[in-house]
Structure 1
Amino acid sequence: MDVSDPFRVETVLAPVDGSEDSATAVEYAVAVADRYDASVHVLFVLGREVVQGMDSGVVDEQEVADNTQGFLEEVAGVTDAYDVPYTTSVAHGFSPSIKTRHPGSVVLDAADSIDADFIVLPRESVTDAPTEVLEKAAEYVLSYASQPVLSV
């Protein structure tokens, strides 16, 4: 290990939910990745209302897919500007059959799955906007992550 820089990062996980705050978190994740010559994995976490709506047929899955893809394309612009490699995935933040599945556990499971060295996510929200899924998970991730976490 290089003594001059004992902190090594190869993969930064940036969970997003389509909110402005999560877009800001991606900017920080890309800056960290750029600093450490790492890659970014952007995980789009779908909220309870969206998941339940898709399950019941009230929410159009194609519309959700299009909105998610649009947001991820915006993220690509940030990563491209810094020439940081990135990958993306989408996960349901809730499950009607698995009671322990929530946005915080989804983020930590993804971090383990991709072997993330660092996590950047939006901080705890002071609003109750239903689209801001991850901000409600920040405290959980900060408490239980084995990786360093930056909450912005």
Structure 2
Amino acid sequence: MSEPLFVETVLVPVDGSDESVTAIEYAVEIAEKYDAAVHVVYVLGEELVRGIETDTVDREAVASEAEAFAEAASETAAGTGVEVTSSSAYGFSRTQKTRHPGSAVLDCAEEVDADFLVIPREPSTDGPGDVLERAAEYVLLYASQPVLST
């Protein structure tokens, strides 16, 4: 017989998509059930990272969008007793060949000591913010934590 699931931190990667909002809702519900916290990580895809590095994308606008998602998560958790923290991560690097949106998610999971992951599994839309469709399969294959793919 397996032991019961113990969850202290639920990690939910987001990328600015509508599917990210749904994933936040699931993460908050899971955290509430297990009396856990939620950590939201805003994952920046290749197009945004390249744009920031070449100054063709406004870094402050991207930071504002990431903050808006963190605030949305806090609003979703309001009244539940679930604590929400947030960060952001580059899901692409021109200097690290192994940097991938999925590896960024798993690195963050390790950093925040996440016990459970909720990741949107989006259709491929080739939008500048929609990077998690590339990360979902990687996370499902390599995560050591339980994963809910929405």
TM range (shorter): over 0.9
Change (3 A) 1:57 1:127: closer
| CA drift at 1:128 | 3.1
CA–CA distance in 2 between the matches of 1:124 and 1:63? 23
Amino acid at match of 1:102: H
Gaps of 5+ in 2: none
Asked if structure 2 preserves the Cα contact closer than 8 Å seen for 1:124 and 1:137, the reply is no
Write the distance in 1 (CA, Å) between the matches of 2:52 and 2:77: 30
Q: Is the 8 A contact 1:14 1:42 kept in 2?
A: yes
Q: How many residues align?
A: 149
In the superposition, the TM-score normalised over structure 1's length comes to 0.92
Partner of 2:99: 101
Q: Is the 8 A contact 2:73 2:84 kept in 1?
A: no
| 2:70 matches 1:75 | no
Range moving further from structure 2, 40-49 or 81-90: 81-90
Taking the aligned partners of 1:16 and 1:149, their CA distance within structure 2 comes to: 15
Alpha carbon RMSD of aligned pairs, Å? Answer: 1.5
- For residues 53 and 76 of structure 1, the distance between their equivalents in structure 2, rounded to whole angstroms, comes to 28
1:110 match: secondary structure = helix
Aligned to 1:16: 14
- Please report the TM-score for the alignment, with normalisation by the length of structure 2: 0.93
CA distance in 1, matches of 2:19, 2:94: 27
- The 10-residue stretch of structure 1 (133-142 or 61-70) with the greater mean CA deviation from structure 2: 61-70
Runs of 4+ in 1 over 4 A off after TM superposition: none
Q: Which residue of 2 aligns with 1:120?
A: 118
Matches within 5 A, 1:1-152: 6-152=4-150
